[in-house]
Amino acid sequence: MPALLQRLASNQVFRFLLLGGTAATINWIVRFPLSAAMPMGAAVILAYMIGMGAGFTLYRKYVFPGSTRPLMEQTMTFIGVNLVGAVVVLGLTTLFLQMPAAAPWPNVVREGLAHGAAIGVGAVINFIGHKQLTFRLASRPAG
């Protein structure tokens, strides 16, 4: 079993998914105390920002260490990649819901499946975006 855990820990995609799930959990959990102190909409937005901050920190340290790009560039690109991912997830969820269902499932099931599939595609896009853009190594000048 330890060999399997070591192999998983060394897999970048596994670390990305595990730590992304951790950031999403942080987002979800912190919303509860925040909504006790502020309106729900503000709590959701602040919790989302806290979750994104956790994701950025975790990805930067454990998934994509060693980027030589300036911190501000990484931060702005991280936000941009996440915005693209959010648009993709929303668009795909809507598209999947318009597809005819093979089984007469209740809407809550269809919505859950559509959203889950869209999140999966969004995770792939985010991984590629963060690997190729956010946390890539800065280009060195030729010379």
**pTM of the full predicted structure?**
0.81
In contact, 86 and 122? CB cutoff 8 Å: yes
Alpha helices per DSSP H over 10-134: 12-37, 40-58, 71-98, 107-129
Closest CA to 14 of 28, 29, 24, 4: 4
Q: What is the pLDDT along the chain (143 residues), one digit of tens a residue?
A: 788 888 888 999 999 999 999 999 998 899 999 999 998 889 889 998 999 999 999 999 999 998 889 999 999 999 999 999 989 988 998 998 888 876 788 888 888 888 888 988 989 999 999 999 999 887 666 55
